[in-house]
Structure 1
Amino acid sequence: MPKVVISEFMDEAAIAAHLSGFDVLYDPDLVDRPEALAAAVAQADALIVRNRTQVRGPLLAGAPDLRVVGRLGVGLDNIDVAACRDRGIAVCPATGANDVAVAEYVVATALLLLRGAYGATAGVAAGTWPRNAMMGREIGGKRLGLVGFGSIARETARRAAALGMTIAAHDPFVAPGDPAWTQPFGPVQRLDLDALLAASDVLSLHVPLTEATRGLIDAGALARMPRGAILINAARGGIVDEAAVADALRAGHLGGAALDVFDREPLDAQAGARFADVPNLILTPHIAGVTQESNVRVSAVTAQAVRRHLTER
């Protein structure tokens, strides 16, 4: 009977529905117990992870029977894909299953940061009535710049366009004549990165973490953005220079930022100290793609893919 190890949280109904008949070890805290994780994976035919379990090096080498890795999400920077390919181990991301969740996160944080009114509860309750300080900006008429124009960025573009935003994107992997640039809501302007930075009221990142994208949004890139622009990173930590973002917010050059991902995760107190007292900043714990609904979809897609690979051979 194939053994399936699940080292991070997953919808339990999907496990019951799609992994029945297998020997399943579901322990969502296993990622935080390296020795126990290594012992479990040593006997595993399949491993299901989110973004924290590092499927590489000694862990991968110590799993001689591993046939498939299911990824509860789409990013693969925590998996040594090349090593898996060399060993014939299938890697199955849940492509498309959390697109809507991330798109809604981007649009919601853009609305929050532009309007700037939703932190007034304590002041209003205390009777200060800070009305003059709460005059924010509308999203309609603003330009959304998308760095990367894959499926999540396109879902984001559709929702932003419905709110009256104009859309531009930079993606060297989408050819100029690709139909993706002509969406049902209208054309998406294709720009090089520098032009996109200079033209975007809201800049949202939708690229994987690679050698080419590491540090892509650094102090120089932030300086090229318009004063008052909003930055949203729900892609991968390491793409953005976090200290530079904090400095740009304190200086008033950036009008706001939402960071859902960080260079080191979980973000510890020492690394988080750089964000102390930074204005108009939203920090969330890598949750943009995780909603109750998307967790069900992602878990089902991943479990089905793992089952297929275990039963086909």
Structure 2
Amino acid sequence: MPKIVISEFMDERVVANLEDGFAVVFDTTLVDDRGALLAAVADADGIIVRNRTQVNAELLDAAPGLKVVGRLGVGLDNIDLAACGARGVTVKPAHGGNAGSVAEYVLTGALILRRQAFFSSQAMLAGEWPRQALIGREIAGSILALVGFGAIARETARRAMALGMRVAAYDPHLDPGAPEWAGIERHDSLFSLLAVADVVSLHVPLTEATRHLIDGDTLGRLKPDAVLINAARGGTVDETALAHALRDGRLAGAMLDVFEQEPLPAGSVLEGVPNLILTPHIAGVTEESNARISQMTADNVRSVLEQPAEVHS
């Protein structure tokens, strides 16, 4: 019976269904115990991961029979695609499963950060009444600037326009004549996009080209009343530069769901920074999206493992 190792959280009902036909090891402690993970995959045919499990040459060497990597999500920066390809290991992300969840997260951030009033709880409990200081802005009529214009960004744009936002975007990998640009203000450079932005949302993978894409220089291109949301990948924002911009009042607010190091280290540069909301890589995870992505990933892995043996040779 083919063996599947699941090293991070997944919908338990879907896991139970996988156990009908596969030997399943479902152990969410494996992501933090590398030795145990390598031992578990020694005879595995498939592995299912989220973003924290590193599927690299070390793991592939420890799993000589591995045929498929199921990714509970779409980001692939924790998976060595070249090494997988060289060993004939199929990588199957769950495309489209969490687009709506991330879009809702981004728009929630836009609403909270633009209004500012939601930061008033402690002052209120201390007997203050900072009404004048917390008069914020509406998102209707404001410009949502999307850095990257893939499927999740396009879903975010669709919902943002329904709220009356104007949408601008920059994506050098999408052909200027592509139909996806209909109704969108397309920019030819990141700098020109940031210059008009009221709300910036990142929708790019983490690569050498996008590492610290938002740094001191690019933050300096934003208007002081602009806000930044990153629900894409940690490392695309220079956290030190962002902390300085928020402390100095050069940016009105930020909401981060992804970080250069997860979990955050003790003494993070983000500690005590004003007008900053931090969440634990949860933008794409709701009860509904977790069920969708889990089922998609299970189906993806099952489809590979149920192929005739010669397909993997």
Q: TM-score, normalised by structure 1?
A: 0.96
Distance 2:254 2:120 in 1: 18
Distance 1:110 1:230 in 2: 8
Aligned partner of 1:43 in structure 2 is 43
Deviations 1:43-102 (A, max 9, x none): 110000000000003112111000000000100000001111111111000110010111
> Is 1:303 matched with 2:298?
yes
Cα deviations across residues 13-71 of structure 1 (Å, max 9, x unaligned)? 11122452200000011111111101001111000000000000311211100000000
| 8 Å Cα contact 2:93/2:297 also seen in 1 | yes
Structure 1 contact 92–305 (Cα < 8 Å) conserved: yes
C-alpha RMSD of the superposition: 1.1
Q: Pairwise mapping of residues 159-308 of structure 1 onto structure 2 (< 5 A)?
A: 159-182=159-182, 187-191=183-187, 192-270=189-267, 272=268, 274-308=269-303
Structure 1 residue identity aligned to 2:73: G
Query: How far is the alpha carbon of 1:236 from its aligned partner?
Result: 0.6
The 8 Å contact of residues 18 and 300 in structure 1, kept in 2 or not, is answered as no
Partner of 2:311: none
1:90-144 CA-to-partner distances (Å, cap 9, x unmatched) read: 1000110010111110000111011011132343344422222221111111101
Residues 160-180 of structure 1 deviation map (CA, whole Å, 9 limit, x = unaligned): 111111001001111111110
Which digits, 9 at most, give the CA deviation of each residue in 1:216-274, with x for residues without a partner? 1110000011121111111111111000000000111111011111111221113x2x1
SS at match of 1:36: helix
Matches within 5 A, 1:28-107: 28-107=28-107
How far apart in 1 are the matches of 2:78 and 2:55? 6
Q: Name structure 2 gaps, 5 residues minimum.
A: 309-313
**1:258 partner SS:** strand
CA–CA distance in structure 1, aligned partners of residues 83 and 278 of structure 2: 34
CA distance in 2, matches of 1:215, 1:134: 31
CA contact (8 A) 1:214 1:238 kept: yes
Q: TM-score when scaled to structure 2?
A: 0.96
Report the Cα distance in structure 1 between the residues aligned to 2:35 and 2:244, rounded to whole angstroms.
39
CA contact (8 A) 2:256 2:278 kept: yes
Q: Runs of 5+ in structure 1 lacking a partner? A: none
Distance in 1 separating the partners of 2:198 and 2:130: 26
Structure 2: how far apart are the matches of 1:221 and 1:262?
A: 18
Secondary structure at the counterpart of residue 213 of structure 2: coil
Amino acid at match of 2:216: A
Q: Does structure 1 retain, via aligned residues, the 8 Å contact 2:92–2:297?
A: yes
Equivalent residue pairs, number: 307
| 1:21 partnered with 2:45 | no
CA distance in 2, matches of 1:261, 1:197: 20
CA distance in 2 between counterparts of 1:129 and 1:309 reads 60
Counterpart AA for 1:254: L
Percent same amino acid among aligned pairs?
Answer: 61
| Bigger mean CA deviation after superposition, 224-233 or 128-137 | 128-137
Paired AA for residue 159 in structure 1:
R
- Distance between the aligned counterparts of 1:190 and 1:125, measured in 2? 45
Question: Which residue identity does 2:215 align to in structure 1?
Answer: D
**Inter-partner Cα distance in structure 1 for 2:129 and 2:52:** 44
The CA distance in 2 between the partners of 1:290 and 1:142, in whole Å, is 27
